Amino acid sequence: MQVTVTGTITDGVLSMPADCREVQSFRASIGGRYHELSPLPPNALQDADVTGYPIGYVVVNSNIQLIGYNGDIDYALTYWQSIPALSDSVTQNWLILREPSLYLYGALCESAPFLKEDQRLLTWGTFYSSIRDGMKAEDDRARYGNAPAMQSGLRCAP
């Protein structure tokens, strides 16, 4: 579900991809090198002076507005993609191809109250959660390898 697109922003405004659910990273090319830009609050639009290079960005509706720059600039946008809906035009998406039982157990969980199968809800919910958690663990391994998880907090001596 993670996608990276590149291109050139025109006049400091980029129309976000239609399937963009959430921006993960936005980088702009400054002096031939890509620099990470931070998201800024909407009031940054009022206080923004053109400085010659972008200092951040604001998402307005479905557009990314650069702050501090209004020309053309190369970018790399990494975002979380929406799961395509199953419809007449799209008979399959990556999720149903990879884990069709996730759809099955999700549908069964939703149907339990209507079928008066409340006692089966725990079973179906457990299968659904197990598949979803397995997919998340697989994604984390692919992204971070076998690196140990960070521990927070202090340990006290026994």
33 assigned to some structural domain: yes
- pLDDT tens, position by position, 87-139: 755 667 778 888 889 989 999 888 888 888 778 888 999 999 999 999 888 87
152 assigned to some structural domain: no
Give the C-alpha separation, 151 to 103, whole Å: 34
Residue that wins the pLDDT comparison between 155 and 124: 124
- pLDDT tens, position by position, 40-79: 888 877 766 666 788 889 998 889 988 888 788 999 999 9
Alpha helices (H) in 48-149, listed in sequence order = 94-98, 100-115, 118-144
89 assigned to some structural domain: no
* pLDDT at residue number 157: 44
User: Where does a domain end: 31, 49, 81?
Assistant: 81
Q: Give the number of domains in the chain.
A: 2
> Does residue 74 share a domain with residue 8?
yes
> Does residue 65 share a domain with residue 17?
yes
> Does residue 56 share a domain with residue 109?
no
Structural domain harbouring 12:
2-81
